[in-house]
Amino acid sequence: MENTDLLRAKSSHAEFWQHAHQYFDRVYQTMNLDPIWREVLASPKRVLAVSCPVKMDDGKIQVFTGYRAQHNNARGPFKGGIRFDVSVNRDEVMALAMLQTWKNALVDLPFGGAKGGVVCDPKKLSFGEKERLTRRYTSEILPIIGPAHDIPAPDAGTDAQVMSWVLDTYSMMVGHQELGVVTGKPVHLGGSVGREEATGRGVMYVLRAFLATQHKPLENTRIAIQGFGNVGFHAAQLLDEMGATIIGITERKSGIFDENGIDVAAAGLYYRERGDLVDYPHGDAITNEELLTCDCDILIPAAMESTVTAEVAPHIKARIVVEAANGPTTPDADEILRDNGVTVLPDILANAGGVTVSYFEWVQGLQNFFWSAEEVNNELQKIMDRAFAAVNAKADEADCDYRTAAYTIAISRVAEACRLKGLFP
């Protein structure tokens, strides 16, 4: 019998898939595109479910379930992360793959969207168990991945070490080293400098570009960040370096609040050593729910999907919401925020820095020619600034919010690729 938490998780992911469709439908019906392509754009091209039996440290065999969803490859190979989390299921990866398609198109990368994952709690796996699970999962999805087909990357619960195992497993099975099969690798294995902090850096670039249109500096803005993993930590660190004041940070179980500003480096070290922020000695304890509605200038949801709901949205005091996570705002909440005059910088724009530097890494791996950190960061800034400028211009031209503008640009690019290619046979 399934427990209540599992049933609730399945229900929330079904809603997330519906939310991804709502955002798509809301924009598509305003674009006057040929309706013949609507179902093609709204449907995943392929969803693979795999069984991953793994020998655990105690000698027992545990069977894990894995997925890989590939949404649309009209503009190029599929691209998207792999997450290890207890919440992973089919609806979630389909929704995330769709969002990835729009994100890649918006920043004009030659990729389609994909997403994968394994249902597990990575914190409960030993190092060896995680390696064996990664290698088994890679071998199971191997028929549909590859540098010209589908290029995975890190996501929630995975990191550069996991990508190293994916690289090695794929390379062993095809008989040669294939650097372009995965991104987010360690620099020593053909990864790109700047990839680890790329998503957080992209968040900073987009926020800075928006504030410039309002003639406002980043300095002394009060920012609250939900989520203290890779994206949340690096966004906090970079914004702190730019002169912003980080007043609130939360992770899954705990958080801290300090009106005078949090020492991001110290909090990051504490989190990496302990895995949470419980009993952090500097600042007051705060929950995720309290952080979302705290008194701040800018709110950055950098955790998981559907955290900003219709119940939370009316109480958000921030005037700017920057979506560093994928799909953190539900459609109902999005309407409430818009009606309340809150500017939302949408996920497919704000958090596209990670996939952009993944693109750089893919190119470097294919060419076996590697860039400096300065080159990576300069090229990332150019792409993020160009994408924001396009979204800002579209929002002004159509007199619409940034999400509508971003989706309009992204969908039109994918739809045009589909139209030009036509159907086979």
Residues 377, 298: Cα–Cα separation, whole Å? 24
- Compute the half-sphere exposure of residue 73: CA atoms within 13 Å on the CB side of its CA: 17
The amino acid sitting at 410 is A
Torsional class of 283: left (φ above 0), alpha (ψ -120 to 50), beta (otherwise): left
Burial (Cβ within 10 Å: 0-12, 13-18, ≥19) of residue 260 = exposed
E strand or H helix at 393: helix 373-398
Angle at 133 between CA 171 and CA 194, to 5 degrees: 60
Name the active-site residue from 10, 60, 103, 115. 115
Residues in the chain: 425
Residues 122, 217: Cα–Cα separation, whole Å? 39
In 29-144, which ranges are E strands? 46-55, 61-72, 78-85, 112-119
- For the chain, how far is it from start to end, CA to CA, in angstroms? 45
Nearest CA to 73 out of 416, 418, 353 is that of 418
Alpha helices in 175-248 (DSSP H): 198-213, 230-241
Q: 225: Cβ–Cβ under 8 A, 6 or more apart, which residues?
A: 232, 235, 236, 246, 248, 249, 250, 291, 300, 302, 324
Q: Supply the DSSP string of 246-307, one letter for each residue.
A: EEEEE-SS-EEE-TT---HHHHHHHHHHHSS-TT-SSSEE--HHHHHTSS-SEEEE-SSSS-
Which residue is it, tokens 């020998």?
Answer: 55
- Give catalytic status of residue 216 as yes or no: no
Quick one: tokens of 174? 């095809």
Alpha helices in 340-372 (DSSP H): 347-350, 353-367
Cα distances (Å, whole numbers) of residue 158 to 23, 264, 425: 28, 22, 39
Which residues are catalytic, by number? 115
